[in-house]
Amino acid sequence: MEKTVIEKQDNNTGSVRIADDVVAIIAGLAATEVEGVAGMSGGIAGGIAEILGRKNLSKGVKVEVGETEAAIDIFVIVDFGARIPDVALKIQENVKKAVESMTGLKAIEINVHVQGVAFPNTEVREEETRVK
């Protein structure tokens, strides 16, 4: 994710460069704001970064950025009981709105990949019943 996008400006004052990681961070944060999203699925590389103590804000996001457009893949884990199609649609809407308003890029494609389901912590419930 080292390539950058260059937006040319008409007023001859220069250009604006937006790194792919910036678009990925915006998309990742917008996706995690959606109710029903338990977290992002980052795979092995994301897990290693977290173990080393670095929080990867672009975890679970893959972007392909052109001069004026961006295609985004989001890999999420949803909460048990959430209606997956509704959560996916809200993710697409939230990511599109955030990326387009913050970067000026047109989000032409936002693909949501549900990688898993997060179940409620059953151990806590078992301990609570023993204490009572």
Q: What is the CATH number of the domain that holds 63?
A: 3.30.70.1350
* Of residues 55 and 9, more confidently modeled: 55
Tell me, what's the pLDDT at 47? 47
CB-based burial of residue 88 (10 Å sphere; 0-12 exposed, 13-18 middle, 19+ buried)?
buried
Cα distance between residue 94 and residue 15, in whole Å: 27
Per-residue model confidence (pLDDT) at position 130:
52
Q: Return d(Cα 8, Cα 3) in angstroms, integer.
A: 16
Task: List, for residues 35-79, the tens digit of each pLDDT value.
Answer: 999 989 875 444 444 444 456 778 899 999 988 999 999 999 999
DSSP type of residue 28:
H
Number of domains in the chain: 1
Average pLDDT over residues 87-111: 97
- Asked whether the beta carbons of 40 and 28 are under 8 A apart, the reply is yes
* Domain region containing 120: 4-131
- Is the pLDDT score of 88 beyond 50? yes
* Residue 16 scores a pLDDT above 90: no
Instruction: Say what the pLDDT of residue 52 is.
Output: 45
